[in-house]
Amino acid sequence: MAKYEDILTHLEDGILTITLNRPDKLNAWTGTMESECRAAITQAGHDDAVRCIIITGAGRGFCAGADMDGLQEIGDEAEDGRVPEPPARTSATYTEDLEALYPGRFGYLYRCDKPIIAAINGPCAGIGLIFTLYADFRFADQSAKFTTAFAQRGLIAEHGIAWLLPRLIGEAHALDLLFTARVFRGDEAERIGLVNRALPSNELMPHVIETATHLAKNVSPRSLAIMKRQIRESYTQSFARSLDLANFEMEQSFASFDFKEGVDSFVEKRPAKFKGR
| pLDDT value at residue 101 | 86
* CB within 8 Å of 92: residues ≥ 6 apart: none
Q: What gap in Å lies between CA 257 and CA 270, rounded to an integer?
A: 16
pLDDT at 86: 52
| Per-residue confidence (pLDDT) for residue 85, from 0 to 100 | 57
- Predicted local confidence at residue 103, as pLDDT: 86
d(CA 184, CA 191): 11
Buried b / exposed e over 44-59, threshold 16 CB at 10 Å, is bbeeeebbbbbbbbbb
List beta partners, residue 53.
Answer: 16, 116
Enumerate the domain spans of the chain: 7-72+95-217, 221-267
**Run means of pLDDT, 10 residues per run, the chain, 277 residues:** 89 97 96 96 96 97 83 48 50 56 90 96 96 97 96 91 96 97 97 98 98 97 95 91 92 92 92 90
List CB contacts of 201: < 8 A, sequence separation 6 or more: 121, 141, 142, 143
- Predicted pLDDT of residue 95: 46
Residue 180, CA atoms < 13 Å, CB-side half-sphere:
11
The pTM of this model reads 0.89
* DSSP state at residue 250: H
The third-level CATH classification (topology) of the domain covering 7-72+95-217 is 2-enoyl-CoA Hydratase; Chain A, domain 1 (3.90.226)
CA atoms within 13 A of residue 59's CA, in its CB half-sphere:
15
What is the C-alpha to C-alpha distance for residues 190 and 19, in angstroms, rounded to an integer?
22
Residue 67 is predicted with a pLDDT of: 80
